[in-house]
């Protein structure tokens, strides 16, 4: 773990701790975090780490329990249902806006992303597919030209990822294949500049993801599924 520069200590601590929780796969949903251990690894005092934790708490990525400790946000059906309901509304609107605001170059780049997903599926690279799926949604958000929607959805993606890490299903390939098909249909609607179809398909995509994740809670853990 690289030591942090003192001049940008607070922002650096936030960036590194957030990446540690979301990108490293080191912590599981609901797991208790050791502020002392994190501070020691970063080579800083507890103060900037606690500042980072306060921001992450506000973002809904950690839960701070007085006199008990700090925990990575746990899998919670009610929270997830609310996140998916909000995501459906925002992503539907973002895709609707993107249908008229994306440039042809942006649509071509989106098409390249979707074709890459087909290759990843055929080669059974599920982890890389999840990264490409996030890229697909981020390209649409950029094309929507609405920073407020993008900011809200980025937070929802992060919270969903943190809560669902390590959840498993025997349906992984089937789920990701359905994701690819959804993405391809959304791309086609965007190319046609069909706002109504683009929004409708985006909403259906989120609805299906929600159903998959919430049903997974009753399934035995086998292989990880990332939802984006």
Sort 227 into a burial class: Cβ within 10 Å, 0-12 / 13-18 / 19+: buried
Higher pLDDT, 43 or 218: 43
The pLDDT value given to residue 5 = 57
Coil, helix or strand at residue 52: helix
pTM of this structure: 0.84
The pLDDT value given to residue 10 = 81
Whether 126 contacts 179, CB under 8 Å: no
The pLDDT value given to residue 167 = 66
CATH, domain 6-72, list 3.40.50.720, 3.40.50.1370, 1.10.10.10, 1.20.120.80: 1.10.10.10
> In terms of CATH, what superfamily is 77-216?
GntR ligand-binding domain-like (1.20.120.530)
Least confident piece of the model among 3-17, 115-129, 202-216: 3-17
Nearest-CA neighbor of 209 among 85, 112, 23, 101? 85
Question: Which tokens in the block code for residue 63?
Answer: 């839960």
Least confident piece of the model among 94-108, 121-135, 155-169: 155-169
**Could you identify the residue written with the tokens 């990701």?**
176
The pLDDT value given to residue 226 = 39
Q: Residue 173: which pLDDT band, with cuts at 50, 70 and 90?
A: confident
Beta-bridge partner residues of 70: 33, 64
């Amino acid at each position: 773990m690289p030591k942090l520069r003192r001049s940008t200590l607070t922002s650096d601590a936030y960036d590194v701790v957030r990446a540690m929780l979301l990108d490293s796969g080191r912590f599981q949903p609901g797991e208790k975090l050791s502020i002392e251990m994190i501070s020691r690894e970063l080579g800083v005092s507890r103060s900037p780490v606690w500042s980072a934790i306060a921001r992450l708490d506000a973002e809904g990525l950690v839960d701070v329990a007085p006199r008990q400790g700090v925990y990575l946000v746990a899998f919670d059906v009610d929270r997830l249902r609310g996140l998916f309901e909000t995501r459906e509304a925002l992503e539907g609107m973002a895709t609707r806006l993107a249908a008229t605001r994306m440039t042809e170059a942006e649509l071509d780049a989106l098409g390249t992303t979707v074709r890459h997903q087909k290759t990843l599926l055929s080669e059974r690279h599920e982890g890389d597919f999840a990264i490409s799926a996030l890229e697909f949604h981020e390209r649409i958000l950029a094309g929507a030209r609405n920073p407020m929607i993008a900011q809200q959805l980025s937070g929802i993606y992060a919270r969903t990822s943190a809560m669902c890490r390590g959840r498993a299903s025997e349906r992984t390939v089937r789920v990701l294949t359905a994701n690819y098909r959804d993405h391809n249909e959304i791309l086609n609607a965007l190319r046609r500049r069909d706002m109504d179809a683009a929004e409708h398909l985006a909403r259906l995509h989120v609805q299906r993801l929600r159903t998959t994740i919430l049903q997974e809670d009753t399934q035995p853990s086998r292989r990880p599924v990332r939802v984006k």
